[in-house]
């Protein structure tokens, strides 16, 4: 089972990257996709901003190989 549409606190989600991934692991998912909103010209309050992209991707990639789940990064 996979879930590829999840938001984190980088946009309008309630949970951090780590919390979303951990919940997916606990649910037995094989793949989790993080797809935070990115449209800095329209929704600055609830969207990932250009200056946050590197940190966003770095945090997601920090879980590569650490857990029994494939983590995809998107926007």
Distance (Å, whole) CA 63 – CA 25:
12
If pLDDT is split at 50, 70 and 90, which confidence band does 9 have?
very high
Instruction: Say what the pLDDT of residue 62 is.
Output: 93
Instruction: Say what the pLDDT of residue 28 is.
Output: 97
Angle at Cα 61 formed by Cα 25 and Cα 63, nearest 5°?
35
Q: b or e along 10-33 (b: 16 or more beta carbons within 10 Å of the residue's beta carbon)?
A: bbebeeebeebbbebbeeebeebb
pLDDT at 8 over 90: yes
**DSSP helix/strand/coil, 30:** coil
Query: What φ, ψ does residue 13 adopt, rounded to 5°?
Result: -80, 160
pLDDT digits (tens, 9 = 90+) for 12-71: 999 999 999 999 999 999 999 999 999 877 777 788 888 999 999 999 999 888 889 999
């Amino acid at each position: 089972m996979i879930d590829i549409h999840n938001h984190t606190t980088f946009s309008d989600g309630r949970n951090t990257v780590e919390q979303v991934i951990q919940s997916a692991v606990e649910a037995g998912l094989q793949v989790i996709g993080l797809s935070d909103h990115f449209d800095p010209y329209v929704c600055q309050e609830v969207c990932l901003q250009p200056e946050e992209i590197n940190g966003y991707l770095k945090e997601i990639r920090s879980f590569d190989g650490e857990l029994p789940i494939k983590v995809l990064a998107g926007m």
